[in-house]
Structure 1
Amino acid sequence: MPSPTPQPDYVLVRPQMGENIGAAARAMWNFGLDRMRLVAPRDGWPNPAADAMASGAGRLLDEAQVYPSTAEAVADADFVLATTARPRGLTKPVYSPEAALAETAERTARGERVAVLFGPERAGLENADIALANGIVSVPVNPEFPSLNLAQCVLLTAYEWRRATAEVTPRATALAGTDWANQAEVAALARHYEERMDAAGFFFPEHKAEGMKLNLRNLWSRMPLTRSDVQTLHGILRQMVRWKDRGG
C-alpha cells in the first residue's frame, strides 16, 4: 500500500523496457516516492524484467496503476509537470528540476495532487502529452548530448523531491565512535608536547621561545581534534620518549 506521505504521482508514459521501469521504481523508492503510474507499457504489464531490476522496490511495481492514455493517467491531478530535454514549440512555464520539485512539495503540502510525466526511452514525450501539462521540467544537460535515460531522469527529480521535503545536511563529519576533544583535553595535549619539546631543547634561541610556544598553542587550537586523535598523539609522544630513554 502506498505510504500516506503527500507526494507526487510519477507517470511513465509508454515505457519501452521492463528493465527501465524497474530501475525507475528503485530510483523512486531511494528517495521515498512510491506512487507509480504506467501508460501503455510497450511490453505489457506485469513485466518480469522490471521485477528483476527493481532490487527491493518491487512493491512499487505491484502497486503501479496502469492506464491506456496519458489523459486518463493525469485526470485526477490538480497540477501536471512534463519532463523534456528538447524545445517543443509550446508556450508553458519551464522549471529547473529544483524549482519544479519545490513547487510540487508546496502543492502536495496544500493537499493538491501533482503528476510528473516521463516519456518513453526512444524519443521522450510527444507534444500531445506535454499539452496536458501545466509546466515543463527542463534538465540543464549538455546540449550536444541531451538524452537522459528514463531511470536517470526519475532519479534526478526524485532527489530534488527529497531535497525539497527533507532536511539535508550539506556537510557533516562521521566521528567513528568518538567525540570532539574539548578545550581542556586539547590544552593538556599542548602542555604535554610543550614540556617534552622544551626538555629536548626545541625552543631555541631563548628570546624566541615564548613566540614559538604561542605559535604551537595556536596550531593545536586550529586543529579539529577528536578524543581519539588526542589519545593517539599523547601515545606517540610517550613512545618516542621511551625509545629515547632506552638509548634508541
Structure 2
Amino acid sequence: MQKIDKNNIKIILVEPQLSENIGTAARAMLNFGLESLSIVAPKQNHLSLKSIRASAGANSVLENAKIYNNIEDAISNTSYVFACTVRKRDMVKPYCGPLELNNIFNSLKRKTNIGIMFGREKSGLTNKQVSFADMILQIPTNPKFSSLNLAQAVAIIASEINRIDQKYDERNYFKSNSVVAEKAEIIGFLNHLERALDASGFLRPKEKKDTMMINIRNIFARSMLNKQDVQTLRGIITSLLRWPTGHRDRKIMIETNKIADGNNKNKQQRN
C-alpha cells in the first residue's frame, strides 16, 4: 500500500456563506495534516477576524488559500475530483463512502492531484457542480437528519484521509516518560496494602482473606502501574492510616512505618 501525499489533496469549499465556517473548516483540515484550501466564490472574506478566530490557529491554511470565481478554475489543476454530498442525485456517477478512499487513492498514482468539493452550508452542491466530479463521496448519516455542518463534513473526510497513513488502533499516542513498575515494586505495594487492610479490619472474616486479596491483586494487575503510581499509592495508604491526627502522634507514625515496611528488619528485603 502506497503512502499518500497530502500536499496533492486540496479541499475545495464551493460558495461558503459564513466566514466562521471557512475558519473552522481550515482548523479541521490542519488537525489532520491537510493544508491546501481552495475557495470558490465565498460570500464573506475568508481572512476576516471571525474566520481567523474560528480557525483557532490554522491561520496558515487561510492565508495560503486560493480564491476562484468558478469551479472550472478551482479544479483545473486536479486530475481526480470528489463531490461530497449526501443527497441522491439523478445522474449516473459512481458513489463511494469515506472508508473507500484508501482503495481509491491506492488505485491512483501517488502524484495525482486530488480535489474534494464541499457545497454551501444551506443547500450543498448543485447538480451542475456535482457534474464536474469524477465520484460522489457520501458520508453515512441519519436519513432523517442528514445535514452536516461544513466543518464537520470536512473533519470527517480529513480524518479518513489521515487514517490511511496513521494507525488509529494504536494505543501509544500519549506515551509518557514514566517507567513501568517492576513486579517487586508492585508486590511490595500489595503486601503493604494487605498489612494495612489487616490492621483496619477489612480482611474479614479470616477464611475469606485469601480470596479477597486475589481479587484485589487482579484489580491492580489490570492497571499497568508505573513507578510513580506505586509510590503514590503507598503514600496514600500511609496517610490514611495516620488520619486524622497520626501525623502528629509518634506512636502512630512508628506503627504505620512498620505496616509500610513489614516486620523484616533487613531493608534490602523489605516488601
Do they superpose with TM above 0.5? Answer: yes
When structure 1 is superposed on structure 2, of 4-13 and 48-57 the one drifting more is: 48-57
Aligned amino acid, residue 41 of structure 2: A
The answer (yes or no) to whether the contact 2:82–2:117 under 8 Å persists in 1 is yes
Change (3 A) 1:194 1:95: same
CA distance in 1, matches of 2:212, 2:173: 31
State the distance in 2 between where 1:30 and 1:196 align.
48
Paired AA for residue 166 in structure 1: Q
Contact preservation (8 Å) 1:6, 1:111: no
Residue 160 of structure 1 is matched in structure 2 by 160
SS of aligned partner of 1:28? helix
Q: TM-score, normalised by structure 2?
A: 0.73
Amino acid at match of 1:14: E
State the Cα RMSD in Å: 3.5
CA contact (8 A) 1:7 1:108 kept: no
- What is the number of equivalent residue pairs in this alignment? 244
Matching residue of 1:91: 92
**Structure 1: where are the runs of 5+ without partners?**
none
Structure 2's unaligned 5+ residue stretches are 257-271
Shift of 1:202: 7.3
CA distance in structure 1 between the partners assigned to 2:227 and 2:136 by the alignment? 52
Alpha-carbon offset, residue 238 of structure 1 = 3.9
Q: With structure 1 as the length reference, what TM-score do the two structures score? A: 0.78
Cα deviations by residue, 1:159-199 (Å, 9 ceiling, x for unpaired): 22222222335545857763332211112223334456667
Instruction: Give the corresponding residue for 1:42.
Output: 43
Correspondence for 1:53: 54
Identity of aligned residues (%): 34
Cα offsets for 1:191-244 (capped at 9, x unmatched) = 334456667887777777666665655555444323223223333444566659
Q: CA–CA distance in 2 between the matches of 1:206 and 1:49?
A: 68
Q: Summarize deviations over 1:80-104 as a string: whole Å, max 9, x none.
A: 100111101122222222323x246
Distance 2:198 2:149 in 1: 65
Shift of 1:132: 1.4
Task: Rate the CA distance shift 1:238–1:43 in 2: closer, same or farther, 3 A.
Answer: closer
